Amino acid sequence: MLHCQHDQLVSGIDWAPISNYIVTCSHDRNSYVWSFDGTQWQPTLVILRLNRAAISVDWSPKENKFVVGSGAKSVCVCYYEADNNWWVSKIIRKKHGSTVTGVAWHPNNLLIATTSTDCKCRVFSAYIKGVDSKINPGTTFIDTKFGEQVLQLDLAFGWSFGVKWSPTGNSLAYVGHDSTLHIVSNIGPTPSHQTINLRQLPLRDILFISETRLVGGGFDCNPMLFEIDPKRGVWTFVKFVDEAKSSTHDLKSSTLFLEAMGRFHGQTRRGTHEAFETSRASGLAHDNCITCIVPLISAGEVNGQETGEKVVQAFSTSGVDGRLIIWSFSNITELLAKLQI
């Protein structure tokens, strides 16, 4: 059990499975790194030097750094300084126009992607001399310094959320509050991108299952599976993952979207706020917005060592309904059969 250290809402949490560290961030503008001493979790305060709330946090793949997004339009990259026995925060400032809603590390441990309520997605260099090993000459953006923006995506027309990298780092995806999903490939000077306009309510978070498949969750309360056609190179929606009442849910999804928009339009005209009960299909695992999707098990990975193709075999979803749901598949064949791909 983690004893209370934050004095305001805890807005982000992430676990480093190899080192067994937990990092939390909060609206109190601080972060804590928690280590287990055999009997209880011991916190170490990380002073982020923010003047607004900390919103999101993510451990780096090598677990030697973590990144925090904030309401101060800035990003903190934190690392452990052994000589002084404390965690140090380096800040990327003046790059965002509004709150940083999501952060994600590239598999190379050197780049971070962010989403923001200014509707943009950005990629920054997070290379720290003395912390990161010497850069491989073949690494993309080798000449970039810490905090330098290497890519900006202006694809969404609504707040941006849920940025994630694919397992190899060749693709990047994020969602817009305008009910769009954006997938960017060939990250570099000339990236290619595709936008999927959803016929459902907006997504809030996504997760790459593999290089060719990803799941998303949001206001439809049912994880959605997407895949890429290898011949055409086009991403498409496949089906809802929660099969309970899924056929009914598919039929009602467009009606639900129109119903929500109509109710919102009516409230804004009258200047009132009313409780909103939708016609959402019952019987789903979640009965409110899905806000977080986290991988639990990856095929081809044993004790952090890659042994083959990385494919998520289990992941969890959590949401506003207070539920934590685990979706598991015993092997890749069962995964494909269950999702009827």
Q: Are 74 and 50 contacting, i.e. CB atoms less than 8 angstroms apart?
A: yes
What is the C-alpha to C-alpha distance for residues 146 and 158, in angstroms, rounded to an integer?
A: 28
Q: How many CB atoms lie within 10 A of CB 87?
A: 20
- Element housing 338 (H / E): helix 332-338
pLDDT at 277: 43
Confidence of residue 322 (pLDDT cuts 50, 70, 90): very high
pLDDT at 139: 56
What the block records as the tokens of 71 is 């309401």
The whole-number average pLDDT for the span 283-291 is 92
Q: Are 103 and 92 contacting, i.e. CB atoms less than 8 angstroms apart?
A: no
pLDDT at 269: 57
pLDDT at 328: 82
- Sort 220 into a burial class: Cβ within 10 Å, 0-12 / 13-18 / 19+: buried
Confidence of residue 313 (pLDDT cuts 50, 70, 90): confident
Q: Are 285 and 318 contacting, i.e. CB atoms less than 8 angstroms apart?
A: no
Q: Which domains does the chain show, CATH number per domain?
A: 1-132+141-184 (2.130.10.10), 198-242+284-340 (no CATH)
Please say if the pLDDT value at position 276 is more than 50.
Answer: no
Question: Over the stretch 161-200, which tens digit does the pLDDT of each residue have?
Answer: 999 999 999 999 999 999 999 999 987 777 899 999 998 8
Residue 194 identity: Q
Percent of residues, the chain, with pLDDT higher than 70: 77
Cα-Cα-Cα-Cα dihedral sign, residues 268, 274, 279, 285: positive
Question: Over the stretch 248-270, which tens digit does the pLDDT of each residue have?
Answer: 445 455 556 566 666 655 555 55
Q: Which residues contact 287 (CB under 8 A, 6 or more apart)?
A: 221, 280, 321, 323
Confidence of residue 20 (pLDDT cuts 50, 70, 90): very high
pLDDT at 261: 62
Residue 166 CA, distance from chain mean position: 11
Angle at the Cα of 113 from the Cα atoms of 15 and 96, rounded to 5 degrees: 115
Provide the b/e sequence for 292-325 (b: ≥16 CB within 10 Å).
bbbbeebbebeeeeeeeebbbbbbebbbebeeeb
Q: What are phi and psi of 270, to 5 degrees?
A: -90, -15
Average pLDDT, the chain: 84
pLDDT at 260: 62
Question: Over the stretch 91-149, which tens digit does the pLDDT of each residue have?
Answer: 999 899 999 999 999 999 999 999 999 999 999 999 998 888 766 655 555 567 899 99
pLDDT at 330: 57
Closest CA to 45 of 102, 7, 96: 7
Q: Which residues contact 219 (CB under 8 A, 6 or more apart)?
A: 200, 201, 202, 203, 204, 289
